Amino acid sequence: MKTPPLLLFAALLFWGWLSDFLWAGLALGVILELPRLVKFRWELDDADFNRIFSFCIVLNGVLLGYVLTHTTTVALENPSHGNTLLATTNADAQAAARFPCWLPMTFFPFMAVQVFNIRQSVPLTAISFVLRWRRRMGDRAFAGRYVDFSFPYFIICVFAASTNPPGGSRDYYFVGLYVLAVWALWSIRPQRYRFGTWVAALAAMALFGVVGIYGLHSAQAGIQSFNASLIQRFLVNHTDPLQTTTSMGRIGRLKLSAKIVIRLEPHELGRYPSYLREASYRNYLAPKQEWLNVGAIHEFVPISPNTNGSTWTLLPGKKNSDIVNIACYLDSRTPEGDPAGLLPLPPGSGMLENLPVFALKVNHTGSAFASGPGLVIFDAHYGPGTSIDAPPDLDATNRYDLTVPTNEFAAVQSAIAEMNLPAGSSEEEKMRAVEKFFLDKFTYSTWQGPDKRMDTNGTPLTKFLMTSRSGHCEYFASATVLLLRGLDIPARYAVGYYVHEPHGPGYVVRERDAHAWCLVWRENKKCWEDFDTTPSSWVGIESARTHWDDWLADMTSWVHFQFAKFRWRQANFQQYIFWSLVPVLLVLLWHIIFRRRGKLRAQTAKNQGAAAVVRPGLDSEFFQLEKQLAARGVPRQAGENFSDWLERALSERSLRDLRAPLHGLLRLHYRYRFDPDGLNAEQREELRRKSADTLQKITSSPPSSRS
């Protein structure tokens, strides 16, 4: 099935016009139509086609690597870090999405060798690596089957033309496509149908096509009417800076996975933050066991990066004593669909370096909300002292940082009484007493029995403080915050991760390391400090829940991390991949060009070697006689044996006398050539001598007529 004349030319021109490669399309089209005018042809075998197709595939791989790793430069009227990065990322994504647009160029060598080959088709095994493998394994089912690549190439051209964004010349895509389709279908139409029927079928096809396009547009509009971010909210479990619902009061065992969610690498060995905080909350809603932020404190304020675009100063002028490199995922989405999320930050973070995000916003409860790539790897500069958290609202009327909800008030007061704190205890003594209270009288448990359930007898937290006295970190953190507040110490509820598991040069944080603790205001230092009363045994209990296949989960997490690094361009190995393909391409080129030549040389050498061994008697003098007789006008025909030819040659009257000696010589010649025992020295000499005599006689006798 071959394309009609000029169809490929038209398809390439169409592709070139829509893809802004008009001249390239024109040139490629002319080259492919050239064989109709010139007689030049190649003679390529199946192996050559295999190599050329492999070359095209590698070319596609290189091009894909290039478009994935290439960074587009975008010029904006009002450039800022965020919109420039966003525009660059979008431009890169569009460039990568336009990769199929290059397919007519990358498959052109294969198409060209078909049209310039003597056999105007390609072996079926060339275009399928599976078939090649099957053939190598001895499957001969596809051997000798050839296909015409021109129609697939035509489809590649119209497909490539379609991968451009709408607008401009692309608005005429359907019209051009329809014309080309009619042209192509005309060449393969069955002869049994009348012209009118065929035209009616084409019209129906066009009508269906247009209806289909409008249908797809409507479907797209319908899908877009859903709020993507709303859907995302239900799908992705992420920390909300506004509120957090605890698991207190629920029945069952808390189970979190061993999936690695954060990787840390301290710049100085051993100096790493124990806590990575994502958010903190002031207000506790006892009936719902919810922590939330009421008022304007949670509102995010955007901050601008430094001049380099990737350094974000959170606390100007703060001296940060330590640096830790953090890699984490941004696994929720902005309404625009960009990845976004809260950054897990060490306490007292003052500056974030090498943070490649579009925008960063912070609020006064210590949350930093970033939107950018799905994976961010940055250096957090941190140290003791001030943080981005607002100081407690001691002067305000609400005094949220000291509020104990009414539902929990009795239990809190009872617990404080149980601590037997002497009147006038210092802030330090109160904190130690609270710590000791939990340490002595409470145990860690992830099991939540019915005794902790909320009922008319009290809230889960009240039951925790008064009766059950065992629970997980949310109980301890919530109870600690309320107890400290009961003791007139401002406190907040913090959520994030606890860092404890060394891994390679740094540390890893798993999903099960998610933790809740308390922030306590140190009046003397004028700063918030982490205060964790959860028994330290919780780390051991959580770690003991390892499973035999955790290594597999670690490996999966690592692969996911590396892929995310590649996808979100947080590593340089895109370039390595790209450059690593170059040697592959060179090796393939070498294979295509030189291997065949080497093979031919080896074959020639083999043939020459074989000739020396298996073809004796080539020096027979009878060949001179043959040459002489041929010169008299009786050449031996291809495929004619000596005996028949001699009869023909001896029909000349003047040579009749030579019949007997010539036949005798022929017998000797045959024996010399084909008898395994060959001729002995005497017979060989006889052949030589008699041949010379006969040759002399032939030369001396004048040519005569034939009988």
Q: Which positions touch another protein (CB under 8 A)?
A: 1, 94, 97, 100, 134, 137-139, 147, 151-152, 155, 158-159, 162-166, 170, 173-174, 177-178, 181, 185, 188-193, 197-198, 201, 204-213, 215-217, 220
Residue 97 vs 631, nearer CB to another protein: 97
Task: Please state, in angstroms and rounded to a whole number, the distance separating the CA atoms of residues 175 and 157.
Answer: 15
Instruction: Provide, rounded to whole angstroms, the least separation between the CB of residue 158 and another protein.
Output: 6
Least distance from another protein to the Cβ atom of residue 584, Å: 21
Closer to another protein by Cβ: residue 96 or 256: 96
Structure-token pair, residue 253? 């065992």
Minimum distance, C-beta of residue 101 to another protein, in the bound complex (Å)? 9
Q: How far is the CB of 295 from another protein (least distance, A)?
A: 40
- Measured CA to CA, the distance from residue 538 to residue 500 in angstroms comes to 12
Least Å distance between CB 176 and another protein? Answer: 10
- Choice between 136 and 255, CB closer to another protein: 136
**Cβ proximity of 281 and 342 under 8 Å:** no
DSSP state of 487: T
388 torsion bin: left (phi>0), alpha (psi -120 to 50), beta (else): alpha
Task: Tell me the closest approach of the beta carbon of residue 148 to another protein, in angstroms.
Answer: 9
What minimum distance in Å lies between the beta carbon of 159 and another protein?
Answer: 6
Cα distances (Å, whole numbers) of residue 484 to 246, 408, 533: 19, 13, 11
Axis-axis angle for helices 681-700, 659-674 (nearest 10): 140
DSSP state of 226: S
Which CB atom, from 119 or from 170, has the smaller least distance to another protein?
Answer: 170
Least distance to another protein from the beta carbon of 639, Å? 24
User: How far, in Å, CA of 150 to CA of 25, rounded?
Assistant: 16
Please say which residue, 198 or 670, places its beta carbon nearer to another protein: 198
Burial-class residue 173 by CB neighbours within 10 Å (0-12, 13-18, 19+): middle
Question: E strands along 483-584, which residues?
Answer: 491-498, 501-503, 506-510, 514-522, 527-531
DSSP bridge pairs for 285: 290
Identity of the residue, 13 or 494, whose beta carbon is nearer to another protein in the bound complex: 13
How many CB atoms lie under 10 A from the CB of residue 363?
22
Closest to another protein by CB, 146 or 409: 146
| Least CB distance to another protein at residue 131 (A) | 11
Q: What are phi and psi of 282, to 5 degrees?
A: -110, -35
Residue 527, strand partner residues = 522
Find the shortest distance in angstroms from Cβ 44 to another protein: 23
How far apart CA 71 and CA 286 sit, in angstroms, is: 51
Closest to another protein by CB, 135 vs 452, is: 135
Tell me which residue has tokens 């009936």: 287
Tell which residue, 277, 238, 348, has the closest CA to residue 493: 277
DSSP class of residue 701?
Answer: S
Q: Which is nearer to another protein, 206 or 553 (CB)?
A: 206
Q: Which C-beta is closer to another protein: that of 155 or that of 589?
A: 155
Contact present, 496 and 515 (Cβ < 8 Å): yes
SS3 state at 169: helix
Supply 376's token pair. 């961010």
Residue 411 near residue 458, CB atoms below 8 Å: yes
Q: Which of 19, 244 has the CB closer to another protein?
A: 19
Shortest gap between Cβ of 154 and another protein (angstroms)?
9
